[in-house]
């Protein structure tokens, strides 16, 4: 019923006769010659597209954090006697698989962002415009931190998924009666080690250390090299804010200087 009603409404609102054409001007308008600066051109061709993709990446990172929280809520919910197998309940497996899939999407988006950056550097090589170079460095820092955080999530998901079945392999190994105590002790140690390895940094990726004290890094490169998962998450928010402020500054500059009037030649 809805479609016919909408169609009837459009017919009712349509003019009964086509509107009269506007009169054709008898004189041609004066054509202004514009000058486009490198930073304003890059805003349209690279920086703003990177901003759009980064916004998608930010939502994807939040989705991975939510999936990681779901993973932690469901760890140990599987019907298993093994400490390792208790990590691999159906809900936990599904959550980790979701993290892995979203991380792959971010990697594809980062490749797209790198393409925009390469096009910008080709159009205006590094060193030709200082303001554009600074803006591109800010964009590159954001891209790099997003990639580093996505790698952290992917490391968790791939490590978890790659070790699926380790519990079955260990618990199904036959032991001789005289070896039971030693082997059981070794198995317990192995399961504890594997569980710790799988869950390493997981709480930080889930946002569990948001209130922890964070170190100050001199650059995005230092943050990527030395920062923890929680520090990367915190640092990403700072990079997003700095990038947004840089875009606003460039936009305000371009709005006033992108087009300048020049007298016609001749």
Mean confidence (pLDDT) of the chain: 76
pLDDT cut 70: percent of the chain above it: 62
Tell me the per-residue pLDDT of 100-113, one tens digit each, with 9 for 90 and over. 999 999 999 999 99
What is the pLDDT at residue 18?
42
What is the pLDDT at residue 16?
39
What is the pLDDT at residue 169?
52
The pTM (predicted TM-score) of the whole model is 0.72
Burial (0-12, 13-18, 19+ Cβ within 10 Å), 78: middle
Tell me the per-residue pLDDT of 129-158, one tens digit each, with 9 for 90 and over. 999 999 999 999 999 999 999 999 999 999
The CB-side HSE value for 240 (13 A sphere, CA atoms) comes to 16
Give the mean pLDDT of 101-127. 96
What is the pLDDT at residue 190?
61
CA quadruple 60, 66, 71, 74: dihedral positive or negative?
Answer: negative
pLDDT band per the 50, 70, 90 thresholds, residue 251: confident
Q: Is 236 a residue whose pLDDT tops 90?
A: yes
Structure tokens, 161: 């998924």
Tell me the per-residue pLDDT of 75-90, one tens digit each, with 9 for 90 and over. 864 444 455 556 778 8
Question: Other C-beta atoms within 10 Å of 81: how many?
Answer: 8
Domain boundaries defined on the chain: 36-165+211-256
């Amino acid at each position: 019923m809805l479609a016919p009603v909408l169609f009837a409404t459009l017919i009712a609102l349509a003019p009964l006769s086509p509107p009269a054409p506007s009169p054709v001007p008898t004189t041609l308008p004066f054509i202004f010659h514009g000058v486009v600066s490198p930073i304003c051109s890059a805003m349209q061709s690279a920086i703003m597209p990177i901003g759009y993709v980064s916004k998608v990446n930010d939502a994807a990172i939040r989705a991975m954090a939510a999936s990681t929280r779901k993973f932690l809520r469901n760890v140990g919910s599987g019907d298993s006697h093994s400490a390792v197998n208790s990590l691999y309940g159906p809900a936990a497996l599904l959550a980790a698989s979701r993290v892995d899939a979203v991380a792959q999407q971010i990697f594809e988006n980062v490749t797209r962002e790198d393409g925009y950056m390469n096009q910008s550097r080709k159009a205006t090589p590094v060193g030709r415009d200082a303001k554009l170079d600074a803006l591109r460095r800010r964009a590159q820092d954001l891209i790099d931190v997003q990639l580093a955080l996505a790698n952290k999530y992917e490391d968790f998901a791939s490590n978890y998924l790659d070790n699926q079945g380790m519990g079955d392999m260990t618990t199904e190994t036959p032991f001789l009666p005289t070896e039971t105590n030693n082997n059981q002790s070794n198995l317990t140690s192995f399961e504890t080690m594997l569980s710790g390895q799988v869950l390493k940094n997981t709480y930080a990726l889930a946002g569990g250390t948001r209130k922890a004290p964070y170190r100050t890094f001199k650059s995005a490169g230092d943050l990527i090299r030395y920062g923890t998962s929680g520090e990367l998450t915190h640092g990403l928010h700072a990079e997003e804010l700095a990038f947004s402020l840089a875009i606003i500054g460039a936009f305000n500059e371009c709005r006033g200087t992108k087009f300048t009037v020049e007298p016609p030649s001749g």
